[in-house]
Structure 1
């Protein structure tokens, strides 16, 4: 299994018990979807290694308490701290309407209601306060906030996203 075929589920943040249980900080708005997982892939020194889940339960809002098979002591658990967990992309719940996962829209064309075709999404920048579409327009990078008020329609079949940005936003990038 390769990392590009998976999505990031979360990170092991601390030990929970002397029996090898661990707490995972989940990267999701819906932690309950992952309460009964059977297995995960753990990134160990750059390789995704399958780990089978003996038991799991939600612990406080966004933490998942996991007990892996063959991880039975504090020492075993200690060795796994700070490891990142991944699941195959096909396990992501399907989203309808204008909702999408960031990885899904890479390569989509962006069309602005006022401006016309803007370019192609090359990445999503979510390191800022508000996530941004990174769009390539003939070698020029254009950033558009991923704001619900700007996104008019997401057409997954035709791989396009229609936006309606404030007048002049796109021109800022082109008139340099």
Structure 2
């Protein structure tokens, strides 16, 4: 039995696409079409499993066929369902690359050891990754650039990143 911690979310079903059971899929893999290489994909609780067959690229995603989905109504019912793959089926990464799932929840400390918060999510709006940091001393989330200058150390074993944020990003 795969534990939820051993699963990585690789995509989400965004709704029906057409009338024959095709779905719009948002792929979270580096190469969107590589999601097909990780078949079968499962729901987080493991209750459903799907083989994904890519039909074509569409705006903001892929048009795909899922096994056992043949009607628009079945496809509509899956809207918002996240699809997962066991971590051991993903390729290992170079030392300076990380899966987003591994970063979420890590403590963020500054170069002096003061805790700044925790990583809530990893965002990318086109200009590079941003770490969304939340913490008790913050009125709202802070977006920390995920660059070598701003985050010189990622220590997955100790569950933290060491940050050297630009001046003024975090309250004094």
Q: Which has the larger radius of gyration?
A: 1
Contact 1:53 1:69 in 2 (8 A): yes
Structure 2 gap segments, 5+ residues each: none
Alpha-carbon shift at residue 117 of structure 1 (Å): 0.5
How many residues are paired up? 161
Q: Which has the higher strand share?
A: 1
Alignment of 1:72-151 (within 5 A): 72-80=70-78, 82-90=79-87, 91-105=89-103, 106-108=105-107, 110-112=109-111, 116-119=112-115, 121-125=117-121, 130-135=130-135, 140-141=137-138, 143=142, 145-148=144-147, 149-151=149-151
Contact 1:26 1:63 in 2 (8 A): yes
Alpha-carbon shift at residue 31 of structure 1 (Å): 0.6
Deviations 1:45-90 (A, max 9, x none): xx5532231633452475233323322333433433x132221350
User: CA RMSD of the aligned region, Å?
Assistant: 3.6
Q: Aligned in 2, Cα 1:169/1:79: closer, same or farther, shift over 3 Å?
A: closer
Deviations 1:92-131 (A, max 9, x none): 443333332333132345242xxx1122753324579754
Q: TM-score, normalised by structure 1?
A: 0.65
